[in-house]
Amino acid sequence: MTSAGYVEKTMRRRRNGRFASSSMNLFYVPAVLILVVFTVYPLISGLGFSFTNWDGYNPQKSFVAMQNYLNMAKDKNFWMILGNTAIYGIGSTVIQQILGLGLALLLNAKIRGRNLMRAVIYLPALISPVVMGTMYYFIFQYQTGALNTVVTSLGGSRIVWFQNPHVSVAIIVVVNSIQFVGTSMIIYLAGLQGMDQSVVEAASIDGASGMKMFWNITLPLLQPAFTTSVVLNLIGGLKLFDVITVMTGGGPGYSTNSMSTYISLSYFRNQNAGYASALGVVLFLLIAVVTYLMNTGLAKLKWES
């Protein structure tokens, strides 16, 4: 048999030989099994729990239909927390795009020590947000905190930073943004470095420079990096949990909770697993819708030039 004939036969066998080919699918069975048990099944059973009045401990629970969802609509805390969640998401996204893009532009230029600067700016993103939260706490602590030291040295009196809910929410947004600003920065840096240089050169030959170059050439070419960074920051902000838990615990009252922390409070502290499950379903839908809108909307977005 010629080798060409053999190749053709093998190719045919590969295409037609059902057993040989489909047995290949055995490779993904372990992974799919783990995903089904620990992600898909909980997602479905969570939907089921959300229609019950389960307390999370007692084996007995009864079907209450849409009651949890109706309670949610009447729950003032829920609407406030949904608002907080939006602020965490949008606030972090805006701050991170401005700072991240700005830093990327500065650190893309040939300036001395830029590798060290990139490394330092990215460092906090690698630390656990919980640990980072305790570290940031030493800025805002009442008696010895760095911020109150500055306030008192300027002649003011110490401030309780986590007393006013609005201030607390703002602090959490800033802390989350600052910790992960390095992530946005490296996404934009990768975008700047991957830019089609011929377009940039052509534009500079045509006399584009400075701000004109930035608005008409650089920004439109950065659109993929922009989409990636915005989607990542927005979803990260909407899911926010760790920093809130360690900095305010969701308090005072319910005022700084996000959807994520409210789910855990409803389950473990208020022992209302049915309600917590319903909140989980809402959070899941929220993220799914936002992801979908972002991916379709931002992909279509064309910069006006």
**Residues numbered 9-68 forming contacts with other proteins, rule: CB under 8 A:** 10-11, 14, 20-25, 27-28, 30-32, 34-35, 37-43, 45-46, 49, 56
Q: Which residues contact 43 (CB under 8 A, 6 or more apart)?
A: 284
Residue of 91, 129, 237, 250 that binds other proteins (CB under 8 A): 129
Q: What gap in Å lies between CA 163 and CA 133, rounded to an integer?
A: 17
Q: Among residues 5 and 207, whose Cβ is nearest to other proteins?
A: 5
Q: Which residues contact 119 (CB under 8 A, 6 or more apart)?
A: none
Shortest spacing between CB 119 and other proteins, in angstroms: 5
Q: Among residues 69 and 284, whose Cβ is nearest to other proteins?
A: 284
Please say whether the beta carbons of 80 and 254 come within 8 A: yes
159 touches other proteins by CB under 8 A: no
Query: What is the Cα 153 distance to its own chain's centre?
Result: 37
HSE (side-chain half, CA atoms, 13 Å) at 14: 6
Listed ranges 89-97, 159-167, 204-212, 261-269: which one lies at the site for other proteins (CB under 8 A): 261-269
Where in 279-298 is the site for other proteins (CB under 8 A)?
280-281, 283-284, 287-288, 291
Listed ranges 63-71, 75-83, 112-120, 211-219: which one lies at the site for other proteins (CB under 8 A): 112-120
Strands (E), the chain: none
Please say whether the beta carbons of 168 and 256 come within 8 A: yes
Task: Please state, in angstroms and as integers, the Cα–Cα distance from residue 45 to each residue in 37, 57, 272, 277, 281, following that order.
Answer: 11, 16, 16, 9, 11
Q: What gap in Å lies between CA 179 and CA 246, rounded to an integer?
A: 14
Q: With CB under 8 A, what is the number of residues at the site for other proteins?
A: 95
DSSP secondary structure letter of residue 52: B
Q: What gap in Å lies between CA 264 and CA 272, rounded to an integer?
A: 10
Which pair of tokens denotes residue 161? 């930073």
Residue of 121, 171, 217, 234 that binds other proteins (CB under 8 A): 121
Shortest spacing between CB 107 and other proteins, in angstroms: 8
Q: What gap in Å lies between CA 242 and CA 232, rounded to an integer?
A: 17
Residue of 97, 176, 245, 257 that binds other proteins (CB under 8 A): 245
Residue of 66, 70, 98, 106 that binds other proteins (CB under 8 A): 106
SS3 (DSSP) at 63: strand
Where in 177-216 is the site for other proteins (CB under 8 A)?
178, 182-183, 186-187, 190
Where in 76-105 is the site for other proteins (CB under 8 A)?
99, 103
Residue of 66, 98, 123, 293 that binds other proteins (CB under 8 A): 123
Shortest spacing between CB 22 and other proteins, in angstroms: 8
Location of structure tokens 């010895």: 144
Shortest spacing between CB 3 and other proteins, in angstroms: 8
Residue of 135, 200, 203, 219 that binds other proteins (CB under 8 A): 135
Shortest spacing between CB 302 and other proteins, in angstroms: 21
Q: Among residues 38 and 198, whose Cβ is nearest to other proteins?
A: 38
Q: What gap in Å lies between CA 105 and CA 262, rounded to an integer?
A: 38
Q: Among residues 288 and 301, whose Cβ is nearest to other proteins?
A: 288
Q: Among residues 66 and 123, whose Cβ is nearest to other proteins?
A: 123
